[in-house]
Each structure stands twice: as C-alpha cells, then as structure tokens.
Structure 1
C-alpha cells in the first residue's frame, strides 16, 4: 500500500533554514506527499515552491505551546492564509484545559475557526500532557468548535502519538472530525497501525529522513 497521500511532511524546528524548506518541498513533490507542515514565516516561500503541485501547505500558529493570546493566534492564522496556507494547525491551550476553564478553551479554538472560514483547522491536543478524561474533554470541545482535524502531538513535548490515545480520540469523535497522528512514527509498519485504527493523516518529521533510512513510511 502506498500511503504517500496520508503523509504530512513536517519541519518545525526553530533553526530551520530556507534551504531546508526548499529541500522539504522538493521531497514532498518527489514522494507525492499530501502536504508540508511548516512555521508561518515560511508559508510564502513554500507556496511559491509548490505552486504547480497538488501538495498542500499547512501552517502552525501559536506554536508550539498554545499559550499565546487568542487574538495573536487569529492574526497569525489570517496572515498565514494570506501568504498561501491551505490548512491551519493550532495547539490547544493546555493551561486553560488543566484549569477546567472549558469556556476559554472553546473560545480560543472557535475564534480561530471563525476567522479562517472554510480553511481546514487542526487542533493539536498534546496527548502526552493529558490523562484519558482530559483527552476526551478536549475532543468534545473540539467538536463543539467544529474543527476539521484533531492532532495528537506537536513534537515539542515529552511524547508523541500512541495507539491507546488515538483509539480514545477515535471512540470519542467517531466520524465527526478526522485524526492526524504525529510524533514517534518512523516507518511504514507503524504508520499502517495508525491508519488501521481510523487515522486519516500521518505527521512525519522530515528530520528523520536525514538520520535513518528506515524512516520513510512509503511502500
């Protein structure tokens, strides 16, 4: 099975250079990946590089901690779309969630969703920081905010995707939203396990390609 169209090729390290973004986009085109996921400062460059390609540009906003003001996230999201982003990812406000300030969590997500209209919105839960009940509650809030995707992890916390947490997400949201599994997924075999439990996309760190040949989840 060729799973290229499920792959979100990701490069979000703060020291990412223009050359690395060029390489990222070239490899995404070459391997027919679904899209690239990058910081908002490089959206315009990526859009130019991918102009004649079906590969999508996804930009993160309020990244990686999700603790920025909602207004800041809204501004960054709108600017990213103006620069050519076709999908937006934001990290859920973990502090609000841990405080059980669910109204503020919902407002944070809803304001971004309203600001970007029909543009796809993904919300990163950061599952390594949450217990089962918090994952369920976060998913319920995301559904109330009409998000398009729920993503497991940012890659900047203490752990990435797990099958257990992914199954909890899937059981909670059913088919009301889609799932992106990201973090600690390094090969075809692992990717397939996530797709089998209902994941729609796999976040694949481009840096792994530079370190190990096994880290290419393509048949």
Structure 2
C-alpha cells in the first residue's frame, strides 16, 4: 500500500507563514503526496510552488466553523479555484443540520459544487458534533448534492476522525462518493486502518512520519 498517494499534506493553522507553506509544498513534492491542503490565502503560492509536480492543491472554505453565509462560501470557492485550487474542502452549516434544515444544507453543497464545476468538492460534516442520525443525514445531503467526497472533520473541532465514523459514512455513500478521514491521524497503522475501512484520502499534518513508518 502506497500511503503517500492517500495523503493530503495539510497546514491550516492560523500561524502558518508563507515560508511554512513553501516548506509544506517541498515536502509534498519530495514524498509525492496526493495533495497539499491550505487556507485560501495560500492557494496561489502553493500552486506556484507545486507547478509541474503532479501534486494537487486543496483549499478549505467556510473554515473551520461552517457558519458563514452561503454567498460568502460560494465567493470563497470561486476565488480559490480561480487562484489554482484543484479541490475544495467545504464545511457544512452544522447549526442548520442540527436544526433539521436538510434542504438548506443540501442546497448549499449543491450551489458550491455548481460554482466550482469539474473541481473536486469534499464536504466536511464535522462528525464530533453530530449524532449518528445527523451523520447519516449529512452524508445523504452530500450524495444528493452531487459532491465528490464526504470528510469527517476539520481537525479544529472537539474531536477528529474515528474508525466508527468512517465505517458509517462509507456504508451510506458506498461507491457513489469517496470518504476522507481527517483529524488525529498520526501513525501508519491508523492510516492503513482507515483505508481498509473505505477512506480513499487522509488529511494529516503527520504525513512524513506516517510514510516513514509504513
């Protein structure tokens, strides 16, 4: 199993500097990770640093709370793709989901997917805040809205990915959507177990350590 091609090499901290992002991209090129995942302000910088490498650029939007209005998320997504992002990792409006407003959640995902066209859309449902029924509902919203992935976590909530959540999410989306596990993945054994459970992408800032031990 080539773990490097499952990894989105990630740096999303508020204190990440341009130099940190350039270093992230150097590491991603050296180890041939699938993508780097960065905040929107660094998309263009990452794209320039990765030019010709084959490593994708993923950008987060509505991050990390998901509570900004839909028009702002759409604008952010368009700006990121215009700046060179290949993939968008969006956070759903968790409050609307918990209030049972599934139409709002589904429509927002759908509008963002339409705004980015053929670019990949990953939908972060932030499992740590959801009941099992809410996790199922969120996955169904992403399915109906024709997203490309469902993703467990931002890594900034009260908890990250769990084996149980990935198993549940995969059981709902099947082969129609892919699953990204993110948050708290720090070693090769854990990474491999997520892949066995059906995750096709892993979000982690520990990618170098993970592949060095695989």
Q: Provide the secondary structure at the position in 2 that maps to 1:216.
A: helix
TM-score (norm 2): 0.97
User: Who is 1:85 aligned against?
Assistant: 85
Runs of 4+ in structure 1 over 3 Å off: none
In the alignment, is residue 216 of structure 1 matched against residue 207 of structure 2? no
Residues 144-183 of structure 1: pairs in structure 2 closer than 5 A: 144-183=144-183
Number of residue pairs aligned between Structure 1 and Structure 2: 213
User: Who is 1:190 aligned against?
Assistant: 190
**Conserved in 2, the CA contact under 8 Å of 1:128 and 1:158?**
yes
In the alignment, is residue 59 of structure 1 matched against residue 59 of structure 2? yes
Give me the whole-angstrom Cα distance separating, in 1, the residues matched to 2:136 and 2:34: 28
Q: Provide the secondary structure at the position in 2 that maps to 1:179.
A: strand
Q: Provide the secondary structure at the position in 1 that maps to 2:97.
A: helix
Residues 30-45 of structure 1: pairs in structure 2 closer than 5 A: 30-45=30-45
User: Who is 1:140 aligned against?
Assistant: 140
User: Who is 1:95 aligned against?
Assistant: 95
- When the two chains are superposed, the root-mean-square deviation of aligned CA atoms in Å is 1.1
**Conserved in 2, the CA contact under 8 Å of 1:125 and 1:135?**
yes
Deviation (angstroms), 1:2:
2.3
Deviation (angstroms), 1:197:
0.8
Give me the whole-angstrom Cα distance separating, in 1, the residues matched to 2:86 and 2:124: 17
List per-residue Cα deviations over 1:145-200 (Å, max 9, x = no partner): 00001100000101000000111101111111000001111011110000001110
User: Who is 1:15 aligned against?
Assistant: 15
User: Who is 1:3 aligned against?
Assistant: 3
Give me the whole-angstrom Cα distance separating, in 1, the residues matched to 2:204 and 2:198: 17
User: Who is 1:110 aligned against?
Assistant: 110
**Conserved in 2, the CA contact under 8 Å of 1:8 and 1:34?**
yes
